[in-house]
Amino acid sequence: MLIVIGSIIPIALAVALSTVPVLATLALLLSPRRAESAPLFLVGWFLGLFGVAAIFAVGLAQLPKDLSGTSGTVIGVLEIIVGAVMLVIGIRAFRIEPPTPGRTSAWLGRVQRMGRWPAFVTAIVLNVRPKALVLAAATGLVVGSNYQGLAEAVIELLIYTAISASTIAVPVILTLQRPATMEPRIRATRDWMTRNQSIITAIVLLLIGAGILGNGLIRLGS
């Protein structure tokens, strides 16, 4: 289990640093309706993270033992594919021009006006973005290819989900407890992330993608 947890922590950190859900959370926390919409967004994000990663993990756990056991060829190939996709997305992120302030403000404004259930659904839907699916698939590869029983798999997925959701949970909890103190910090963080979201995405995906690709190559060579 410790090996699996050690492998999924970097992936979970990449999810935690995803700019889109964090910016959506910050927008909700600046809304007059934050007390009803932000907690539901957090719940939807947590459930979506766990559910999508679990689907991939269950699929990988069904591989015959002769494929996912000693040689690990199939798992190695899948890791190489997932790692390569992350690298491609990361490289593309470096080349994408930052969105204009007006464009960014427009979608953040729509998020800011959401009620509780639209916020809940939006959080779940954000887990099926291409980048989110790639990271969930990477987690599923680690958990599913090292499946040792339902209880251990659930614990591993819960750890992944808790770390991934930490950048949503912490600001939501702190802001609902101390809104006057947190609001200026939320605005400053939102503005900084809006200016640098492409760079953040690129760096995170390149680092994690290289690691997963390397694991796949090592698995094929062993």
* Per-residue pLDDT tens digits of the chain, which is 222 residues long: 888 898 899 999 999 999 999 999 999 999 999 999 999 999 999 999 999 999 999 987 776 655 445 446 777 888 899 899 999 998 988 776 665 555 556 788 888 899 999 999 999 999 999 889 999 999 998 898 888 889 999 999 999 999 999 999 999 999 999 999 999 999 999 989 988 888 988 998 999 899 889 988 887 876
Quote the DSSP letter at residue 99.
Answer: P
The token duo for 140 is 């599923």
Amino acid at 68: S
Q: Which of 161, 151, 137, 155 is nearest to 59 (CA)?
A: 137
pLDDT given at position 61? 78
pLDDT given at position 186? 95
Domains identified in the chain, total number = 1
Residue numbers of the domain that contains 97: 2-221
- Residues 45 and 121: their CA atoms lie apart, in Å, by 9
pLDDT given at position 71? 46
**102 backbone φψ class: left, alpha, beta (φ>0; ψ -120 to 50):** alpha
Q: Which of 9, 222, 207 is nearest to 93 (CA)?
A: 207
